Amino acid sequence: MADPARDALGAAAAVPEPPPAAASPPEAAAAEAAGDGEVREAGGGSELKAEVADGEVRSAEGEAADAEEPGLQAGAARKVKLELKERKEKKQKVDEDEIQKMQILVSSFSEEQLNRYEMYRRSAFPKAAIKRLIQSITGTSVSQNVVIAMSGISKVFVGEVVEEALDVCEKWGELPPLQPKHMREAVRRLKARGQIPNSKYKKIIFH
């Protein structure tokens, strides 16, 4: 694949879809370097990130240990510190493995699969429209994080509906493109599973 845009997408395959704007690789690397030890699955696997993260974890734990009573507590605190550090290192190793596997997978995609993957990663709801919609419902202004969170879960919601509709379509022995009847059946099934919020009808728990 000699397409530079595709390579960038493959390199960023480990990092989950960036919220504010598409992150170019240098920006993603910088983000990893500045990340603190609290990052769980944000991916990245550069040694720079691991060093910085470990340094911050160590200093944070050192302060916490000093705050406790010295003597008996110091030994236990040191052990906890070591355990935490080991766990974070293991988690980072697992992240690195996952990133490598993703890179291998993406590099073996066909042209059509790459197109679809690119659309999957890049598509997003426009922040302005979502913000306008939420503000028209609340009547007050909302913070940027709320818009980011809402856009994110809306995209997951769309994914759930589309995947269920594709299951329905396949089960009925038909082919995509999805038709409204598939979508409606998918919605009916998701509602039965409680995955679609519906606060219009009063729930009778005991009767």
Partner 1 sequence: MADEEEDVPFEEDAEDAGGGLDGGQGRRKRLFSKELRCMMYGFGDDQNPYTESVDILEDLVIEFITEMTHKAMSIGRQGRVQVEDIVFLIRKDPRKFARVKDLLTMNEELKRARKAFDEANYGS
Q: Which of residues 135-194 bind partner 1 (CB under 8 A)?
A: 136-140, 142-143, 145-146, 148-150, 152-163, 165-166, 176-180, 182-184, 187
Taking CB atoms within 8 Å and a gap of at least 24, the contacts of 3-7 are 6/114, 6/118
Considering beta carbons, is residue 193 or 207 the nearer one to partner 1? 193
Answer positive or negative: Cα dihedral of 139, 21, 125, 146: negative
Q: How far apart are CA 103 and CA 97, in angstroms?
A: 10
Contacts of 120 (CB under 8 A, 6+ apart): none
Under the binding rule (CB under 8 A), the answer on residue 196 touching partner 1 is: yes
Least CB distance to partner 1 at residue 206 (A): 21
Q: Which of 19, 22, 89, 114 binds partner 1 (CB under 8 A)?
A: 19
Please check whether residue 142 is in contact with residue 132, taking contact to mean a CB–CB distance below 8 angstroms: no
27 CB neighbour count, 10 Å cutoff = 13
Closer to partner 1 by Cβ: residue 78 or 116: 116
- Contact mark string toward partner 1, 104..133, x via CB under 8 A: ------------xxxxxxxxxxx--xx--x
Candidates 53-61, 66-74, 83-91, 134-142; binding stretch for partner 1 (CB under 8 A): 134-142
Binding mask 39-58 for partner 1 (x = CB under 8 A): xxxx----------------
Q: What is the crossing angle of helices 25-34 and 47-67, to 10°?
A: 20
The distance of closest approach from Cβ of residue 51 to partner 1 in the complex, given in angstroms and rounded to an integer, is 15
Does 15 contact partner 1 by CB under 8 A? yes
Minimal distance in Å, beta carbon 66 to partner 1? 25
Encoded tokens for 109: 């995609």
Amino acid at 163: E
Q: Count the Cβ atoms, other than its own, within 10 Å of residue 86.
A: 10
At closest approach, how far in Å is the CB of 48 from partner 1?
A: 12
Give the residue with the Cβ less far from partner 1, 23 or 60: 23
